[in-house]
Amino acid sequence: MPSRSPSILLIRFSSLGDIVLSTALIKVIREIYPSCQLDMVIAREYESLVPVLPYLDEVHIYNKRTGLKGLRALRQSLRKKNYDYVLDLHNVLRSRILRTRLGKHLSVINKRTFDRWLLIKFKYDRLNDAPDIIGRYFETARKLKVKDPGLGPTLTPKHDRDPKRIAIAPGSRHWNKCWPAEYYRQTAEELLQEGYQITFYGSTNEVDLIQGIRAKLPIGNHRSLAGDIDLAEAAHSLSKCSVAITNDSGLMHIAEAVGTPVIALFGPTVRQFGFAPRDPGSIVLEVQKLYCRPCTAIGLDHCPEKHFRCMMETEPEKVIESVTKIVGTPLTL
């Protein structure tokens, strides 16, 4: 068993969802080793999340624009910390460079890259019984003798939820991970008619998408925070919503991490990749047994089959039904 106060460094530069999911491991490490030094490295673009990342002593920020020179400088600085354990939860070229001769014990995540490729290319599934991403993080921390309790991620904001308020996050970095904008519009219009208030969330890049959806909605109880708030502020705001309707995206994980049930729309990606919400109160909507799923692990700017059935066949009615299951009877009934 490691000492009761080891020094530990986690490396996970990106992406947003992966960083948020790592909090499940961070929480358990802190519970088992309450006096340990527990630090993390993340990319600069996610720095605004730091105020709501719990249990960490220090977060080291890497600016990708500094390239190899910046990595070497950061590595030199981290070596002075003399970490007992370094956990590479990313295992990409940047993290391999950073972790070189860093710390006494190194553990590297098994990303199941080959198994993921088999599932995408040949639909041969060796991931069905594999741990999800959080479980893989716990595998990486095996030397610390920590066990996965099966819980989801956690961020610090925890507010009382407003049963009338619903979050919609219609964006994603990749086009084919987005449920159609028209479906989001139909869903929002129905929810507004049932008496709910809608708050839209997204990045600066998703402002136009959200404006296009809202432009076709009746004037009423809907607003957009896209591009106006940072990640920590989004976490606080999402924690006040009764449910969040999202794609397979970083905001899905933020919503779950603040205790808000999620209705997650999975299209080209599948649960076996390990990113489905763990919260039993959340719902994943997907087209089962579609011959072309999955077609990608991270997303594409097109549908390879040119029909987009994985998203088009999940209709707004299914989302409305899921909202009712989570929140209860529609407010106007």
Please give the domain boundaries of the chain with CATH numbers for all domains: 7-144 (3.40.50.2000), 162-327 (3.40.50.2000)
The neighbouring-strand residues paired with 197 are 165
Give the pLDDT confidence of 165-178 residue by residue, as tens digits: 999 999 999 999 99
Query: How many CA within 13 A on the CB side of residue 278?
Result: 19
Q: Give the per-residue pLDDT at 103.
A: 94
Residue 168's closest CA among 215, 131, 209, 137? Answer: 209
**What is the phi/psi pair of residue 198, to 5°?**
-110, 130
Coil vs helix vs strand at 89: coil
Q: What is the pTM of this model?
A: 0.95
> CA-to-CA distance for 231 and 64, rounded, in angstroms?
19
Q: Give the per-residue pLDDT at 333.
A: 42
The neighbouring-strand residues paired with 246 are 169, 264
Q: Are strands 58-62 and 7-11 parallel, antiparallel or unpaired?
A: unpaired
> CA-to-CA distance for 183 and 285, rounded, in angstroms?
14
Q: Are strands 241-247 and 162-169 parallel, antiparallel or unpaired?
A: parallel
R_g of the chain computed on alpha carbons: 20
Count the Cβ atoms, other than its own, within 10 Å of residue 215: 8
| Percent share of the chain, pLDDT over 90 | 95
297, pLDDT greater than 80: yes
Give the pLDDT confidence of 175-200 residue by residue, as tens digits: 999 999 999 999 999 999 999 999 99
